[in-house]
Structure 1
Amino acid sequence: MLLQQLISGFATGGLYALAALGLVLTYKTSDVVNFAQGEMAMFSTFIAYTTMTSYGMSYWEAFILALLFASVLGFIVERFFIRPIQNAPVLSLLIVTLGLMMIVNGIAGWAFGFETHSFPAIVGGELKIFGAVISKSNLLTLVITVFIMGILFYMLKYTLAGIAIRATSENPTIARLMGIAVNHVYSITWVVSSILGAIAGMFIAPTTFLDVNMMSSVLLKAFTAAVLGGFTTFVGPVVGGLILGVLENIASGYISAQLSSTFAFALIVIMLWIKPTGLVGQKVGKKV
């Protein structure tokens, strides 16, 4: 049972980590916590569902189309809603993302309805590993999530775009002086963040149900994962997401499914009380 809970926890935690990575990407480059990311992911998931049910596309065709839609949506949000007020106070930026969250949710309800839908899993069936019964979908989700995070970290460390993103996240002014097109970096990070959220949404929908409010709790847990691991590093959200997913599943299996989130968040509060910057975060000093 422990093995079963661990694998399910890592699969769920990996999805939290993907969404949290998107939050940290936009925060470190644009200084904006995008509270609309969950609704953007939900809308992209509905795009995939609609193309499969109404137009007969296969799962992977709908998956790719949803990612393309997510990338366009992320670009539009950054270019037309965030960039014009980029120098506004942080509170104003937060209000804009909260407003976008409500707008996207309302448009999704108008376009797709408020009914609950069943979203297909990647694959069906189960596997037995050392006596534990594990969903093939969970196992494949974990593999794909690890693969995506590996590509993302490779891009951040070894590609010119990744170096530009890291430089901009450290100091946008110096990055501009070094010839980096900071506005292009902002667009790239918002596009990547939107894509990561869409992937998380399409992998989470089969485990719950697809509706306009499906990502509300996921966004909260992604934010919690980022805070737990540390908002000042790209590794932090991955660590925080995996820990949160495992804690939730273990609490659900050994204590109570109703108290799984409560137990996990209680442990997180204790950990943050011990280390406020997060498990792998560092204190960031600013000259004033």
Structure 2
Amino acid sequence: MGTFVQLVVDGLSTGSIYAALALAIVLVNQATGLINFAQGGMAVLSAYIAYSLLGAGLPLILAIGVAVLISFVLGAAIERLLIRRFERSETDTAIVVTIGLLTLLTGVSAWLWSYNNLQFPSLFPLASVDIFGAVVSVRSIGTTLTIVAIMILLQVLFRGTKLGLALRAVADNPASAAFSGLPVGRLLMVGWGFAAALGAIAGSLVAPQLTLTPGMLDNALVYALAAVILGGLNSPVGAVVAAWLIGVLENLAAVYVPFIGHDLKIAVPFVLIFVVLVIRPQGLFGRKVVARV
């Protein structure tokens, strides 16, 4: 029983890493209608900015706060100067641009800070607690609670505020939103800025659990995309629940299913996606899109 609880707890901790990035992907999709493959690179760059500010003598919480603000401006600038040129093109074109942006941001991070592993300090203590026989780090608990808080805030933003409703309107139909008097260009910039700021928070939460390198979130991005598809592109709650589900099922399958083991556990989320999408194409928490003709 102790082993099972430990596997579940470790899976939730790993799933929180995926969830942090998945929430940023959901945010930019809800605000712009795009899937941003560069989100991992933006999060890593933000973590490096926070690391440099720490080296300049700023306290950790202030360094992360300044990095979040810088990331917001950077995200808005990327939308205005780069992404906007492709927003009226085919969706596939814009997605390819974000993949290229990911490569660019990873290269810039490596050029400025090298590929050496750097230790990023944690916002939470390194102590551990015992929960039903499982050893859980306070850092994992703090990260998970932060992810839950962000999830709730995003849900409130998109469901209960005028800004969130305006962002969703622009993402669904920019032309119609413009005819309604919404400032489409500014809202798209705000959406990318929010996503970049959330990525900065995600990078600062994840970096202490991994090590800060340019490719720190490459693997996590794949799992985050899986969580977004599994949970639903328009559901912050779905993205987080799916990320936790992936983390837990991966761990359990690696230990309790002999032919999978640790080598094949990476296939678990993709088998799960296949099964879920056959039953619910919109994802576990997604909404069906109804087209009126």
TM-score in terms of structure 2 length: 0.88
Q: Distance in 2 between matches of 1:195 and 1:248?
A: 29
- Mapped contact 2:151–2:237 kept (Cα < 8 A): no
Residues 185-227 of structure 1, C-alpha deviations (whole Å, 9 max, x = no match): 2112111111222222222222221111111111111111111
Name 2:266's counterpart in structure 1: 261
SS in 2 for 1:128: strand
**Aligned residue runs from structure 1 range 54-203, under 5 A:** 54-122=55-123, 123-203=125-205
Q: Decide which moves more: 259-268 or 145-154.
A: 259-268
Count of aligned pairs between the two proteins: 287
2:267 corresponds to which letter in structure 1? Answer: T
Name 2:275's counterpart in structure 1: 270
Residues 82-134 of structure 1, C-alpha deviations (whole Å, 9 max, x = no match): 11222112222122112211111111111001111222222211011222211
- Mapped contact 2:23–2:151 kept (Cα < 8 A): no
Cα deviation, residue 2, structure 1: 3.0
Q: Distance in 2 between matches of 1:155 and 1:21?
A: 13
SS in 2 for 1:134: strand
* Identity %, equivalent residues: 36
Cα deviation, residue 238, structure 1: 2.5
1:11 aligns with 2:13: yes
Q: Decide which moves more: 103-112 or 269-278.
A: 269-278
Name 1:284's counterpart in structure 2: 289
Q: Distance in 2 between matches of 1:283 and 1:50?
A: 44
Q: Decide which moves more: 167-176 or 61-70.
A: 167-176
- Pair 287,154 (structure 1): closer, same or farther in 2 beyond 3 Å: closer
Q: Distance in 1 between matches of 2:90 and 2:114?
A: 35
Q: Distance in 1 between matches of 2:198 and 2:43?
A: 8
Name 1:23's counterpart in structure 2: 25
Cα deviation, residue 257, structure 1: 4.0
Structure 1 residue runs without a partner (length 5+): none
- Mapped contact 2:151–2:236 kept (Cα < 8 A): no
Cα deviation, residue 42, structure 1: 0.6
Q: Distance in 2 between matches of 1:128 and 1:61?
A: 31
1:37 aligns with 2:42: no
2:177 corresponds to which letter in structure 1? Answer: A
Residues 19-61 of structure 1, C-alpha deviations (whole Å, 9 max, x = no match): 2222223234423221111111111111112222x22322212
- Mapped contact 1:222–1:241 kept (Cα < 8 A): yes
Aligned-pair RMSD on alpha carbons?
Answer: 2.2
1:262 corresponds to which letter in structure 2? Answer: A
Q: Distance in 2 between matches of 1:48 and 1:248?
A: 31
Q: Distance in 2 between matches of 1:254 and 1:124?
A: 29
Cα deviation, residue 139, structure 1: 0.5
Q: Distance in 2 between matches of 1:261 and 1:195?
A: 29
Cα deviation, residue 287, structure 1: 5.9
Q: Decide which moves more: 91-100 or 174-183.
A: 174-183
Cα deviation, residue 72, structure 1: 1.5
- Pair 128,58 (structure 1): closer, same or farther in 2 beyond 3 Å: same
- Mapped contact 1:14–1:242 kept (Cα < 8 A): yes
- Mapped contact 1:248–1:264 kept (Cα < 8 A): yes
Q: Distance in 2 between matches of 1:252 and 1:209?
A: 24
- Pair 203,150 (structure 1): closer, same or farther in 2 beyond 3 Å: same
- Pair 149,233 (structure 1): closer, same or farther in 2 beyond 3 Å: closer
Structure 2 residue runs without a partner (length 5+): none
